[in-house]
Amino acid sequence: MAAAMAGGMMAGSTIQAVGAIAQGNAAKAAHLYNASLREQEAQVALQQASVDAWRVGQKGKQAHGSYIANTGASGGSVEDAMDALRMGISNAKLDEETVKYHGQLAATGLRNSAALERQAGEVALQQGWFSAASSLLTGAGRAAATYAGGKT
């Protein structure tokens, strides 16, 4: 009778161990999926920043053309117009670069998040294995105690 009880305990522990491993594998898969989503979002952030920077550049070029036309129509000096135009071009380029920089920051944050997700997946997998080992060792100890108790 003690042998049957000990065998049942080991069977239960084995089922727990298999479940722990499966849970660890599933958690890792979920974290890897989340990491791939963060990587995709990072790529989208860079693409969006590129498009936004282009739009800023286009608005700057339109503003420069308007400024040149207005300065010529108002009779302003060429020197003043050129100085203002240089400043406007410089500011427009700075605006473009700022938009790109913000996109790169967003992408970096998302890639860091992806790296954390991958690491969390590895930890979840390890936790599954440790939990499985714990279940087996606990079951073996209880089974041995039950078997020994029934023998005496």
What are the DSSP calls for 41-82, one per residue? Answer: HHHHHHHHHHHHHHHHHHHHHHHHHHHHHHHHHHT--HHHHH
- Mean confidence (pLDDT) of the chain: 87
Do the Cβ atoms of 87 and 60 come closer than 8 Å? no
- Between CA 34 and CA 79 the distance in angstroms is 57
- Helix-strand-coil percent breakdown of the chain, rounded to 5? 95, 0, 5
Task: Give the pair of three-digit tokens for residue 18.
Answer: 């298999």
Which pTM was predicted? 0.71
Which band of pLDDT confidence, cut at 50, 70 and 90, is reported for residue 147?
confident
Of the chain, the percentage scoring pLDDT greater than 70 comes to 90
